[in-house]
Each structure stands twice: as C-alpha cells, then as structure tokens.
C-alpha cells in the first residue's frame, strides 16, 4: 500500500515534545525552504521526510511513541510532491 519511497508528510494527533525530537533524529523536519527563499514552519504535529514511504513513516511514529510510552491517538502519512504555505 504505502511502500513507495518519496517525500512524505506525516501528521499525528499528540502534542509531546520528545516525540517530535525523536522523529527529527530519524531525519524528519518541521520546516522547509526553497533556495534562498523564506523558511516555512510546518504545523506543530506535522513533519516531513525527503526519502521515506508512508508505511515507514507510520512505523516510525508508532515505534517512537511506544519507546516513550506515549499514546498515539491517530496519524496519517502521505506522499507529497510539492509544498505551499504561509509563514
């Protein structure tokens, strides 16, 4: 189902600083930037990874939450080809 490796966006429904920090250690980012353009922050519980499948992203968030003893209410991971946003 979600095994194509590409740019992935994952959004999860918890607010736990350690989860975000652990996901960032796995290569996820909470911002993006085009060249010399402005920096765009993702919403609080949304991250992206430039080379992950949606299945792998869900497994990452599940494993991080399990390790930290955090209850993961819900999460979604989707392939993303382009970003647009408001700073």
What tokens appear for 56 in the block?
């792998």
What tokens appear for 25 in the block?
């250690």
Pairing between strand 39-41 and 46-52?
unpaired
Q: Which residues contact 52 (CB under 8 A, 6 or more apart)?
A: 5, 6, 8, 27, 60
pLDDT digits (tens, 9 = 90+) for 19-77: 999 999 999 999 988 888 889 999 989 999 999 999 999 999 999 999 999 999 899 99
User: Residue 75 phi/psi, 5° resolution?
Assistant: -155, 155
| Ordered structural domains, the chain, with CATH | 6-79 (3.30.70.2360)
């Amino acid at each position: 189902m979600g095994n194509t490796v590409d740019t992935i966006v994952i959004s999860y429904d918890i607010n736990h600083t350690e989860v975000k920090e652990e996901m960032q250690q796995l290569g996820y980012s909470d911002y993006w930037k085009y060249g010399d353009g402005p920096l765009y922050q993702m919403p609080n519980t949304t991250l992206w990874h430039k080379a992950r499948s949606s299945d792998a992203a869900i497994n990452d968030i599940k494993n991080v939450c399990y390790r930290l003893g955090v209850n993961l209410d819900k999460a979604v991971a989707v392939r993303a080809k382009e970003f647009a946003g408001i700073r």
